[in-house]
């Protein structure tokens, strides 16, 4: 089972990859049977310390991950401190509303020296494995273009210094802000892949703080508005031939696997511990048999109906 390829009953291959936070988590990848790493949350290298990690320190960490994956691909997300994990050495003060403040790519663009040191480290490490780079919390095309300009600048710096990198390194963007999902079509010609961060996409669509227990009952991954944004992203990317994955918690929830398959998702990135359960559902699903129910789920805007239909979708053995 761990070694079995993930494909649906009709033979459609599904890529199951894993999320990691530290280079040492790579052992779990091999144990889980994942086909690679779909999200390496690189900010964990920056946390719990008083100073910024140097470019060389980062290079060693990324290189170790790439080499230990033994040919499997790894998507490394550039620093995304998030509102709950601000590094000690950051000197931007405490914002009143950090989730809407200087976070994710905004922080990186505000700290270009830090950002380019990370990009150079990633580029240098790309010679040692299959590294892809991904930008978090993109909210608009100009922001994506600024991040890409920094990426090109980092390449130029390496070339000027006689250092090499994988010329064919792929670059992607996370879709985790509703504005990005709505204008995703404008991103496509600039990137090689997309990954939907449903944790933040739900938070920002529903105005629910993902870390606030007092509103956690309202945090609803199958809210019709959330489903519309995910569907639009998957459809737009797929039509243009741009690979798209989900790397938020939804991807690792086996009760949502059939729904996501029915929405056209073919690449899931999740905590390694969830991989087997999701694979079981994939192996037990026929895409033709889920289309009608998923179609009804995507057409209704009534959450009660969505809940009933989801139950129906998951009730059938080998649907």
- Contact residue for ligand PEP among 68, 139, 179, 199 (CB under 6 A): 199
Q: Is 233 in the site for ligand PEP (CB under 6 A)?
A: no
List the single partner that 257 binds among ligand PEP, Mg ion, none, CB under 5 to 8 Å by kind: none
Closest residue to bound Mg ion by CB: 200
Residue 25 binds ligand PEP (CB under 6 A): no
Is residue 262 close enough to count as binding ligand PEP by CB under 6 A?
Answer: no
**Contact between 244 and 238 (Cβ < 8 Å):** yes
Question: Rounded to an integer, what distance in angstroms lies between the CA atom of residue 127 and that of residue 136?
Answer: 23
Structure tokens, 43: 């900010």
Residues 27-86 that bind ligand PEP (CB under 6 A): 39, 41, 80, 82
Element (H, E) at 77: strand 73-77
* Stretch in the footprint of ligand PEP (CB under 6 A) among 23-31, 56-64, 197-205, 310-318: 197-205
- Minimum Å gap between C-beta 77 and ligand PEP is 7
Query: Measured between alpha carbons, how far is 226 from 220 in angstroms, rounded to an integer?
Result: 8
Give buried/exposed letters for 279-302 (b at 16+ CB in 10 A, else e).
bebbbebbbebbeebbeebbeeee
- Pick the closer one to ligand PEP by CB: 81 or 129: 81
Fill in the per-residue mask, 174 to 193: x = in contact with ligand PEP (CB under 6 A), - = not in contact: --x-----------------
- Angstrom CA distances, 159 to 126, 130, 284, stand at 14, 20, 50
* Rounded CA separation 124/36 (Å): 20
User: What CA–CA distance (Å, rounded) separates 314 from 319?
Assistant: 8
Q: Is the dihedral of CA 26, 32, 35, 37 positive or negative?
A: negative
Q: Of the two residues 173 and 290, which places its CB atom closer to Mg ion in the complex?
A: 173
List the one residue from 198, 205, 236, 314 that touches ligand PEP (CB under 6 A): 198
By CB under 6 A, residue 247 contacts ligand PEP: yes
Residue 298 region by backbone torsions, left for phi larger than 0, else alpha for psi between -120 and 50, else beta: alpha
C-beta of 143 vs 200, nearer to Mg ion: 200
Contacting residues toward ligand PEP, per CB under 6 A = 39, 41, 80, 82, 176, 197-200, 247-248
């Amino acid at each position: 089972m761990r070694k079995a390829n993930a494909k649906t009953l009709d033979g459609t291959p599904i890529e199951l990859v894993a999320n990691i936070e530290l280079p040492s988590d790579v052992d779990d990848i091999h144990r889980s049977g994942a086909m690679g790493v779909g999200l390496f949350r690189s900010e964990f290298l920056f946390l719990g310390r008083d100073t910024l990690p140097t470019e060389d320190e980062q290079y060693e960490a990324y290189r170790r991950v790439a080499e230990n994956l033994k040919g499997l691909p790894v998507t490394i997300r550039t620093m995304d401190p998030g509102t709950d994990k601000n590094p000690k050495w950051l000197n931007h003060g405490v914002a009143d509303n950090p989730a809407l403040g200087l976070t994710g790519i905004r922080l990186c663009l505000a700290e270009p020296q830090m950002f380019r040191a990370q990009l150079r480290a990633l580029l240098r490490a790309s010679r040692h494995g299959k590294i892809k780079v991904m930008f978090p919390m993109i909210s608009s095309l100009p922001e994506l273009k600024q991040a890409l300009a920094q990426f090109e600048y980092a390449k130029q710096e390496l070339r000027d210094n006689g250092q090499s990198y994988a010329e064919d390194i792929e670059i992607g963007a996370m879709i985790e802000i509703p504005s990005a999902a709505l204008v995703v079509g404008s991103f496509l010609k600039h990137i090689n892949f997309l990954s939907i961060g449903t944790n933040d996409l739900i938070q920002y669509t529903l105005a629910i703080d993902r870390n606030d227990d007092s509103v956690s009952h309202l945090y609803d991954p199958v809210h019709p508005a959330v489903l519309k944004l995910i569907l639009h992203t998957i459809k737009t990317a797929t039509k243009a031939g741009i690979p798209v994955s989900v790397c938020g918690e939804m991807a690792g929830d086996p009760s949502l696997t059939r729904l996501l398959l029915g929405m056209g998702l073919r690449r899931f990135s999740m905590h390694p511990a969830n991989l087997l359960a999701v694979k079981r559902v994939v192996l037990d699903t026929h895409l033709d048999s889920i289309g009608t129910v998923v179609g009804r789920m995507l057409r209704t805007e009534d959450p009660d109906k969505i809940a009933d239909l989801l139950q129906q979708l998951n009730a059938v053995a080998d649907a």
